[in-house]
Amino acid sequence: MVRRARRINRELAEVYPYAHPELDFRNPFELLCATVLSAQTTDLRVNQTTPALFAAYPTPEDMAAAVPEEMEELIRPTGFFRAKTKSLLGLSAALRDEFGGEVPGRLDDLVKLPGVGRKTANVVLGNAFGVPGITVDTHFGRLVRRWKWTDEEDPVKVEAVVADIFPKSEWTMLSHRVIFHGRRVCHARKPACGACPIAPLCPSYGEGETDPEKARKLLKYEMGGQPGQRLSPPADYPGKPAPALGAG
């Protein structure tokens, strides 16, 4: 299992050499806020929403002083906007009052912030601070169970199992590759098995569409010739930028 898991990671690295966090951000504070907003919605919808949010509140000090009702209107498209506003106001005040207006670079500090759990903390650490971390979102959990790396459902237990399979230096990029594959090919309801580049390594091959032509029609984002999720993707991203809110 370990040998197969590591080979899957190597194969995914060749398929997605451009794998990256799919949230637009320019600094740790923006990534932290965007990750909190990404709960129960798509990264695309977050990316379409955050430009106005960060224009209005570019720093923790600015955000902590926001009028809740005004922030709610800005982030309404992401859903659960009242709870998310409460989290953003709380974490911004904590950053202002306890961390000098800076996002901390330690897991123990991050998870103490309102609305921030291990998943969000690992996203921030891995992509804003270069600290290796495994991001167990719904895609990651689904795929590692399909690949028989673990049968655990609890994200913390999944993280621990996967951390034992791979060297720490691989954790952050492994997370990106697995999540990319889950969003583009290995979907929850109908995986595109017939168009999957790692099909020979998959113990669950056949759960989805195996006909190559039909499977190719299931591919999403750049794999399916459609725009990605970021309005400002990295320079090496081979797909099209996502449209701004209201642009299609």
| pLDDT-derived band at 246, boundaries 50, 70, 90 | confident
Average pLDDT of the residues in 200-221: 98
Average pLDDT of the residues in 239-244: 96
Residue 150 pLDDT more than 80? yes
**Confidence at residue 103, expressed as pLDDT on a 0 to 100 scale:** 98
**Confidence at residue 248, expressed as pLDDT on a 0 to 100 scale:** 57
- pLDDT above 90: percentage of residues in the chain: 98
Delimiting residues of CATH 1.10.340.30 domain(s) in the chain: 28-128
Catalytic annotation present for 119: yes
The single residue of 119, 148, 164, 220 carrying the catalytic annotation is: 119
Neighbours of 138 (CB within 10 A): 11
Residue 186 marked as a ligand binder: yes
Contact 178, 12 (CB under 8 A): yes
- pLDDT above 70: percentage of residues in the chain: 100
Class of domain 2-19+134-224: mainly alpha
Residue 110 pLDDT more than 70? yes
What does the pLDDT look like over 49-68, one tens digit per residue? 999 999 999 999 999 999 99
Residue 202 marked as a ligand binder: yes
Fold of 28-128: Endonuclease III; domain 1 (1.10.340)
Specify the long-range contacts of residues 9-14, CB closer than 8 Å, at least 24 apart. Answer: 9/166, 9/170, 9/174, 9/177, 11/197, 11/198, 11/201, 12/177, 12/178, 12/180, 12/181, 12/198, 13/173, 13/177
Mean pLDDT of the chain: 97
Residue 247 pLDDT more than 90? no
Distance CA 122, CA 16 (A): 21
Residue 234 pLDDT more than 90? yes
Helix axes 118-128, 28-37, angle to 10 degrees: 150
What does the pLDDT look like over 27-46, one tens digit per residue? 999 999 999 999 999 999 99
Average pLDDT of the residues in 124-140: 96
Distance CA 99, CA 83 (A): 23
Residue 33 marked as a ligand binder: no
Chain centroid to Cα 239, Å, comes to: 18
Residue 245 pLDDT more than 90? no
Contact 120, 25 (CB under 8 A): no
Q: Which two tokens stand for residue 49?
A: 């929403």
Average pLDDT of the residues in 1-28: 98
Distance CA 156, CA 130 (A): 21
**Confidence at residue 178, expressed as pLDDT on a 0 to 100 scale:** 98
Catalytic annotation present for 220: no
Query: Model pTM?
Result: 0.94
- Check residue 246 and report its DSSP letter: T
The single residue of 62, 109, 112, 137 carrying the catalytic annotation is: 137
